[in-house]
Structure 1
Amino acid sequence: MAVFRVQKTQNYTIMSNYHLNDKALSLKAKGLLSLMLSLPDSWDYTTRGLASICKEGVDGIRATVRELENAGYIIRRRVRDQSGQVRSMEYTVFEQPQKPEPENPVQAKPEREKPVQEKPAQENPAQENPTQLNTKETNNENSKYESDLIRTQYRNLILDNIEYALLAARNPTDRARLDELVHLMLDTVCARRKTIRIAQNDFPTEVVKSQFLKLNAEHIQYVLDRMRQNTTEIRNIKQYLLAALYNAPLTMENYYAAQINHDLYGRNRGDAIC
């Protein structure tokens, strides 16, 4: 568990110097970890909560948190409900890096089963065709397993990037739309074709993939808001959502800037006319 020793009466924090002497950490990582160790247990340890008291934005905080995760100073665990859906994230902050839990036992099981698969080939050395067929079947199974594993990894990455649990809690009536966006993002990121058509233009798949993996909670919230406000008929919902997601980083900034200008200058004009 995280160790916090805070002396509010004297307005300073006592903490271990271990991470400050860790040459593998960047200055940003050392500073953020020091800040997190100085905060109370009840603090909002989401990227948005940390960004609210830092100069860096959500993207900068997220990148630094990942550095601390990779170094073992932060362990993040998904909290799921009875149906298996992710409901929240549980962060554990350590003063010293922790070793990741070994996963070798799970990966070692297929290796133990190999001798059993090899016995038929040893008993019938003259029959090569069945062995070749079994190899093809094994390769197909391995390929499918790797494909499913990659898809699961990308799904978890997308859920982390967009802070899915928080978005689901903030938009309970739009849960189906949120899941639809996640599914579309996952299909796009895992696509094997060379190009993806967005707004009647073909973009390299790698470019679209990179753009989608940069989307965060604010971008998805913006897309949900625009979908909720839209009153026109959408003929091709998939193409509409692809374009909305791909263009979200640019259109979001322009949209909110226009809203601010309207609220400020629009009211001033109204007051002047009155």
Structure 2
Amino acid sequence: MLKSHQFDYYYGKQAEQFTFYRIPKRLFTDSTFADLSSAAKVLYGLMLDRMSLSVSNEWKDDQDRVFIYFTLTEIQELMNCGHNKAVRLLAELDSIKGIGLIERVKQGMGRPNRIYVMNFLVSEEIKDFPKEEVMTSEKGKSRVPEKGSQDFPKKELINTDLNKTEVNETEKNESNRSIYPSKNSHAIEKENEMDRWMEYRDVFKKNIDYEIMMQRYPDSIPEILEILVETACSGSKYFRINSSQIPAERVRERLLSLNSMHVEYVLDAMRDNSSDVKNIRAFLLSALYNASKTINSYYQAKVNHDLYGNPKQGW
């Protein structure tokens, strides 16, 4: 039985300050997906949301098809389910055992599976859309062969040694003539970027006590984690913080110094904030960057308010 909580009403435009996962309405109205469980439909929506990160990082294969990384551990955390259910949900969506909304490709060497999120429109419907709207979908219709379909839990990542991949011009020319050419520098760079993204993800999860915080703030912590990882891995030279341009390296160092108390402080301050926030992600990034400097003032102001009824602005 669910534990009852005392939730408040929405006032004015408060509902607009949140971010939402988008699940295609077609999954609930089209008979094609009638046998797909609601949980699997939600998971597909989470995967579509993860696609935006892949697109911004240009995580594509040599056929220009976008893919994502979504480990079983992450699915269990976001869907609040056990290992077996997470496996079943993936199987429902899978191209081999399920309906075909995702395709998983093993990489080996302890690396997580690549997941191709397929277009939920059928081929006949895609033809009716403007060409520019379905270019990616058309390129994604041919499927990559998959050997096995079982996902594996997250493991220690094996970093790519750039020194071992460097070749001189003669070797490059020879490899170009080979039947099995070696990976080009662009592909190697993309793999290194993926490793870097996942390593930062592990570091931030450890720093903020992710599993514990998920139990307290299950709706907010995944978004906080994504902001931390995306910012740390971004190729931008500067970030706009409180209307100022801050060097990316300084922002990265500040975010890496955060712990669970800082994150909890940001969420508390966010809850107490009554102003109309237009850009939630920018607001949260600024709050996280300033957290280590403003946390003491914020809680001191709350203490002063409770003791003396003299509120001070600590945000």
Structure-1-length-normalised TM-score: 0.49
Which structure shows the higher strand fraction? 1
Q: Which has the larger radius of gyration?
A: 1
